[in-house]
Each structure stands twice: as structure tokens, then as C-alpha cells.
Amino acid sequence: MDKTEELRLIRKAVRGNPDAYGRLIVLYQEYLYKIAFLYMKNEQDALDLVGSTILKGFQNIRTLKKPEWFKTWLTRILINTAKDELKKIIHYDEIDENTLSRRYQTVTPEEQMDLNSAIERLPEKYRMVIVLKYFSDLSVHEISYIMNAPEGTVKAYLSRARDELKKTLKEDYFYAG
């Protein structure tokens, strides 16, 4: 689907068309699931999170001011819902190696385990920017919107997170300027 068609669907959804919203969800369901899985660490919780996100998105679609920001807006709902859910869950499992971005498939299994472990040890705000930037390929501007933080703050978090990862990993296979 091209961007023009997608924007047309988003505008229809904002006006209350449930079919248009449903088509958009089909378009983004895999993306939503991947992000949800990174947060929830298991299939059922990720599916539940996606379901909650879809419902909250539908209930609040009329609040979307800029149609071109639909994906980012929906991602923000998903992450805020995930945070709420994670407050209820006491444990954090390691990120499953299958969830790593294709960008890191040349990394050995040992390096992946080190990377997973290092990411898990980061403070939440740093872990979030790393996941959104390198696993979801979002821009600093989009991450800024999702986190409700200035772009300068996001850039600082990314820089600090990369520095922490480099210290922990003591190798340069993750750093991507």
C-alpha cells in the first residue's frame, strides 16, 4: 500500500470508519507484535498487549492530530500500555535472540547473549531508546514523540545507552554511529 492510500485510510479512521482502522491494523499488526514481544518477552502477553493497544487506539483515534504520525501514535499507545503491564510483572527475561534485528544477524550467538544481557541491564529509558532506534528503526523525532521527551533528551539517552553498552560489551559490534 502506498503512502497516499495509507493517509486516506488514516483520515477515514479518524472520522470514525472502523473498516479503515481495521485495514490499518492489518497493515501494522506484525510491527506491533514485534515491539510488544520485545517488551513482554512471551507470545501470549505480547498478543494481549497488541489487543489492548488496538482497542485503545480505536477508542482514541479521533485524538490523532496528524495522520502521517499514525504509526508513531499507535507505537506510543503500545509502549505506554506495555509499561503499565510491566509494572504488574515482577520479572524480566532476557530478550530472545530471535527478536534481534536483521542488522545483527552476523553477530555470533555468544555476542547476541552478551548484547541481550547488556541491554537488559540498561535503565528503562536507555533500553527504550535502544529498542526503538535499533530494533524498530524509528527516527529520533519519532522516538521523541513516543517518549514525550525533547529530541535532545532522546539523543542524549541514545549516546549514554551506547556508551553503557560499549563499556559493558568492551567491543564495537553494536555501535552504529
- DSSP letters for 88-128: H----PPPPGGGS-GGGTTS-HHHHHHHHHHHHHS-HHHHH
Q: Please give the mean pLDDT across all residues of the chain.
A: 82
Residue-level pLDDT at 107: 57
Q: How far apart are the first and last CA of the chain?
A: 32
| Residues 70-102: tens digit of each pLDDT | 999 999 999 999 988 877 654 334 344 344 444
pLDDT class of 171 with cuts at 50, 70, 90:
low
Averaged pLDDT, 26-35? 94
Residue-level pLDDT at 145: 87
Three-state SS annotation for 122-145? CCHHHHHHHHHHHHCCCCHHHHHH
pLDDT class of 172 with cuts at 50, 70, 90:
very low
Measured from the Cβ of residue 70, the count of other Cβ atoms closer than 10 Å reads 23
Q: How far apart are CA 126 and CA 3, in angstroms?
A: 31
| pTM score of the predicted model | 0.61
| Residues 104-148: tens digit of each pLDDT | 455 566 767 777 778 888 888 888 898 888 888 888 988 888 888
Q: How far apart are CA 55 and CA 69, in angstroms?
A: 18
φ/ψ (deg, to 5) at 66? -120, 110
